[in-house]
Amino acid sequence: MALARFSKPIDQEKEAKAIEQRMRRAVGKALTNIASLGLTDYAHPKFEYYAPLFFDFREVRQRMKEIDLDMAHSVVRIHIKKFLFALFDEANESRKGA
C-alpha cells in the first residue's frame, strides 16, 4: 500500500508542509512569468486576461518593477486560494467548452 509509509502523523505533517512549499514556489514562478509577459507587452491578451484572474494587481505590478530594475525578488504575499480557485474555474470552463 502506498499510504503505509505515512503511518506516523509527523510524517504526514512534514509531507503536507512540503507540498504547500512546492505549491508556493510554483505559483511564485507563475507570478514571475506573467509579470515578465506584462513587461514585454502590457496589452498582451493573455496578460490582460490571466494576471487579474490569478493574482492581485499589486503583486503583479511589484514583481514587474523588480524584474525591470533587476532587483532581488521580495517576499510577495501570494494568495494561493485565489490562484487555486481561479485555476479550478478555468479548468471547468475549458472542460465544458471542449
pLDDT at residue 47, rounded to an integer = 95
pLDDT in tens, 57-78: 899 999 999 999 988 777 777 8
Instruction: State how far the Cα of 63 lies from the Cα of 74, in Å rounded to an integer.
Output: 8
Of the listed ranges 36-45, 68-77, 89-98, the least confidently predicted one is: 68-77
3-state secondary structure at position 55: coil
pLDDT in tens, 4-27: 555 566 788 889 899 999 999 999
pLDDT at residue 61, rounded to an integer = 93
| Predicted TM-score of the model (pTM) | 0.78
Nearest-5° angle of CA 28, CA 30, CA 31? 65
**Are residues 62 and 74 in contact, defined by beta-carbon separation less than 8 angstroms?**
yes
Q: How many CB atoms lie within 10 A of CB 30?
A: 16
